[in-house]
Structure 1
């Protein structure tokens, strides 16, 4: 095990003990509804998505009904999530692509669906299929970069680098725990370094403790 792998495992163990075993940001548990929720979560808050999808799935409770939905009606419902025209187009097209089919269980097929990128695909792989998945969103990317675990802020490179640092079985748990850590402690503008349980392992802490916010 390399020094960086040892450090990553130490960080994982701290975060794993810090948070409950079940971490969930989106309320929908049905596989299709969960995937649509993740698509809608781009560039908005989970709180907004959780509110919007209640009405969305009341109007269109099945894959078939969403596949036949009127775009203007869907746009109106999901408007609060932002980028609503493109999102409406994508989720209706995604539903159309899945009529009579199961949700794919591998990333290669998932990313072929309209509106489904690697982040959404990894969310589905980890949450629905309970398989190894590294979810690189804004919070996760910020945390692992500040901790010096990755050398790039590029999501694809971050996913690849982290995948080499931890056993596959820890990937999804680490993704969720680091994400929650970014939301609650390692904030974008003002991280809580003085009370951070990872401060001794973080090469960025000194800069923030001295008043810099460029990391």
Structure 2
């Protein structure tokens, strides 16, 4: 699997993601500038990554301007053809603004930027993973109808929890509805999450739980 990482003005986790994929997962990585359009070097077996940061300075809503960049038009087409797309933090916001994923990321419930380790759990995995968060607009929200559809289709891939895996609002860093930390689309090829697995994928960082996140996405 080959990876393409889209770089927007304001991206600040693009090199972190490159380092994790290239050096920790030993994958081929191609950096993609937001003004370009060409994805012809990728097949639907590959993955395009939208990294964290503050694309276009987070003017209007987070991800709202990036959604209209030339490269994102190609990414939308790539996803609609079945190609894999992963959005982390600001990348998750862009995926929701692009309607590749349902719902929206609202300002944190406490109205403050949060930067700390959090624990998340995947129902199928059953193990709490320690993954850092760093965002001001990470509160996932969707209508009850959409939330019920996500539940019914097993599209909620991560929820915030305590270190033992108990899903408890007290350990939700942003007030996200139903403790949602990450979701996928119904087809299962587009993924979005607020926590940063690329910041927890190397023993020198003191945490390798991020590698398990990539494995759950089928990207190891």
TM-score (norm 2): 0.25
TM-score (norm 1): 0.25
Higher strand share: 2
Higher helix share: 1
